[in-house]
Chain A
Amino acid sequence: MVPNISQTANDFAGVTDDVTTCACDAVRSSTARAIGVGVPGTGGAGKIPGVVGHIATAPTGGARPGAARQETIMFKDFIIAGVGGQGGLLATSVLARVFAKAGFDVKTSEVHGMAQRGGTVISYVRRGQKVYSPLVPSGEADVILGLEILEAYRQLPELKVGGLVLTSDERIKPVPVIMGQAQYPDIRPEWFLSRAGRVLVIPALNKAREAGNVRAANTVCLGALSRFLEIPADVWKETIAETVPPKAVDVNLKAFEIGRALAGTGS
């Protein structure tokens, strides 16, 4: 039932190159900004405007040749970070079900906070042959999936060095900022490179609008994430169709495709 992990790694290596290259294309067309390239030999990365996280200067872990590929197959612990009302829990559901369908053991954990909306919402998804704790150990997350960039950055200490950050560029002001008591930090993609090996910042909200509903921004992010995982797109689409409300299926499938295209070519 459980995929052979090392084999999957080899299958996935090519995809990694696609992701990197295509993310660079995306930068040129101003639809996405990708930096901190974790795959050696794509020298073009250094020429991309705004890219500071060249392979040579990235921190340990993702920096070593070969390490990136190894790390790719190690994507098993995910943190999904967002704000109440953004659909983080739905994204958690989809991701977990995708892994379950692919034959992995899966656990998720989330906290239903004090208020219906407006607070930070963090959830965890873990997969593997056998998963014990539903909590991702601190500083060992393989991936941060951000639905809001401040919340993604807030979780950065939870990422393992060399891990992947994929986040929407959406900025939602917390109340202290609205009240003028604090500044919303001008988070730049390269900030994530203090731990991340790879960073992808995508205009998920705008892309969701293109798909037909701003509320599908979470699915745009999942689409982008899907390019970094070895699981076939069909499994994702089937899962999305089963998980979102019936009348939202079409919009979400479109959002998924748009997100997937943002992070790479193909399918």
Chain B
Amino acid sequence: MAHGHVKEARATRALLYGNEAIARGAWEAGVKVAAGYPGTPSTEIIESLAGYDGIHVEWSTNEKVALEVAIGASIGGVRALATMKHVGLNVAADPLMTVSYMGVNAGLVIVTADDPGMHSSQNEQDNRWYGRFASVPVLEPSDSAEALYFTKQAFEISEKFDVPVIVRSVTRISHARSLVELGDRVEPEPRPYRKDPRKYVMLPAHARGRKPQVVARVRELQQFASESPINRLEWGSTERGFITGGISYQYVKEAFPDASVLKLGISYPLPERLIKDFASKVRVLYVVEELDPFWEDLVKAMGISCHGKDVFPQVGELSRDYIIAGVEKIEGAMAVRFRSPEAASQGARPAGQRRQERGPEGGPEQGTLPGPGDLPPRPPVLCPGCPHRPVFYVLKKLGLTVTGDIGCYTLGALPPLSAKDTTTCMGASIGHASGMSLGLPPEQASRVVAVIGDSTFLHSGLTPLINMAYNRVWRPVIILDNGTTAMTGHQGHPGTGYDARKKPAPRISLEEIASACGAKSVSVVDPYDVKSLERTIREALKEPASVVITSRPCILLPRQEPKKRLIFKAELCRECGLCMQPACPALEPDGKRPRVNEVLCTACGVCAEICPRNALVVTEAEEVR
């Protein structure tokens, strides 16, 4: 993705995505090492940093490794950043919980980009909990300007309090743009490394020594939070007051621009003194936060009564209208005044759900036109020419039970392919396949296979594969190798041969890894060759200790192949419909026959392979007329 940040770096004011602003903030703070694993909505932070010279930027194999690299860089004396999506921090939670005890040498900042509403995630966990869980501070920006500023501040806080600092973003910060003021980079002197086992070697005796400091540090940070300008009081009418922060702050301000607000920039720990003072001065107190009642519970634990999840949703994203609706529940509609009379008459229509709620209305033809519910949906689909499609076609044809993983290929679960039984988290497919084969009756157990992408396999598929070998709970593993981390926008990984800056890098061989892990049979097959693919998968079912690598680059990667074209020879067609079973968007039904959509068709030839009558033929483009 081409970002304008390098061009705009010379200007003082720029329109940046939250992710670009976080990257800029880290760069201005003098970050020397940045490591991450791609994951929506966090990916562009590392991509953006790869546009700056003079720093080490890497795609790590997974989030745990990314954080461990960053911790090492911090101990070594330079400011370091680790980035990941919310579920990535689960992977990195192991080092997080202990680096909290160790503290830092140079500043250490961890960015977690959460996904309320689950636009592109398997859950919507609220990672503010990790702050409380690990006893580390959490900063939460409400726009790009704060994303830049808070990231810089996070490095200062990290060094001042000897603590790793979490910066939490969400989709509406990371993938939203707003104006920022750009600053210059500082180049902090590297901090000398002094060997200090009591601080950096967390054997039990040392960890016991550190724990009291962890507890004391939270109290110090609480004090800091009450004094820091990162938390901000905005006094307006004292009829109602809002404690809020992050993106929720924007919704509150839009709903009630004149209300009093305590805006939390530090989501954890909370500024107790500030909160008690604020609460005592407003008549009705609301705590507005997306997802869990994280602040609300803490505020109530201070002995302060407030409204929160009794009136605001705990599921999905908030919006201006949700805030208005919540306040109306307490104060009544008459008490709530805001700018749009139309919105008042229509009530709250929260983002995400709104389109389903009503049809076009108020017009002369009301009632006769199709409303949104009547329109054909447009679900995301595997692209025309996607090398994953023939794999799912074959798996469905063979009627197999398929444990799946995280990536574009999750779409293989959707009709009409419907060729997936599970999707949990990165790397889970392989362990699930072992477990399901242990749980199912033998006949069904012998039909279980695991499907995992190349990037996901290298992220966390190796250990469960070794586990299969060690515990003799093999099921065939199909690695969908499209040579990239496709879903997040084609990032490199150790199997691609290029790094985060798109520079050449050593390429790890998936075949050799599979053999080394103990697979008795390792085959590589071109998924476009559907007959070989089916034969290979059938063979694999006979030898459970097998790994099948379906190898074909993502169709969206630049290609150098000669231009080809798919031709339909109507006179040969017997209308069997087989060609349309892989559900390629480029092959449209024309009665019982296919019609090639020339705009979409990539001439991958999968349908031609499937056609028993050779009615579909791939030919060199020049040959046609």
| A contacts, CB < 8 Å to B | 57, 59-60, 83-84, 96-97, 100, 105-120, 131-135, 137-140, 150-151, 153-158, 160-161, 173-185, 190-191, 193-195, 242-243, 245
Contact = CB atoms under 8 A, between A and B. Distances in A.
Interface of B: 2, 4, 7, 13, 15, 40-41, 119-120, 143, 171-172, 175-179, 247, 250-251, 253-254, 257, 319-321, 340, 342-343, 346, 349-351, 354-355, 357-366, 369-372, 374-383, 408, 410-411, 416, 486-487, 489, 556, 580, 583, 585, 587-589
B355 to A, nearest CB: 6
A195 B360 contact: yes
B380 A57 contact: no
A113 B380 contact: yes
A131 B382 CA distance: 37
Contacts of B2: 245
Contact of B4 (A118, A140, A180, A243): A243
Given A120-B378, A139-B342, 6 more contacts: A109-B175, A114-B408, A118-B378, A154-B375, A174-B376, A175-B585
Nearest to A105: B179
Given A100-B15, A115-B381, A154-B372, A135 B351 contact: yes
Nearest to A84: B380
A129 to B, nearest CB: 12
Contacts of B178: 105-108, 131, 134
Given A109-B172, A174-B376, A138 B354 contact: yes
Contacts of A151: 378
Contact of A57 (B40, B171, B320, B364): B364
16 contacts: A106-B177, A107-B177, A115-B382, A115-B383, A132-B250, A133-B320, A134-B178, A135-B351, A138-B321, A140-B343, A161-B342, A173-B588, A174-B376, A175-B378, A179-B416, A180-B589
Contacts of A155: 355
Q: Tell me what chain B mostly uses at the interface: helix, strand, loop, or mixed.
A: loop
Which of B363, B380, B382 is the most central at the interface, judged by chain A CB atoms within 10 Å of its CB? B363
Given A157-B355, A175-B379, A60 B362 contact: yes
Nearest to A101: B15
A108 B340 contact: no
Given A133-B320, A178-B588, A194-B364, A158 B377 contact: no
Contact of B120 (A114, A177, A190): A114
Contacts of A185: 370, 374-376
Contacts of A120: 378
Nearest to B178: A107
Contacts of B359: 157
B179 A106 contact: yes
Contacts of A177: 376
A33 B369 CA distance: 20
Given A100-B15, A194-B364, A133 B251 contact: yes
B375 A117 contact: no
B420 to A, nearest CB: 14
Given A106-B179, A114-B487, A133-B254, A59 B364 contact: yes
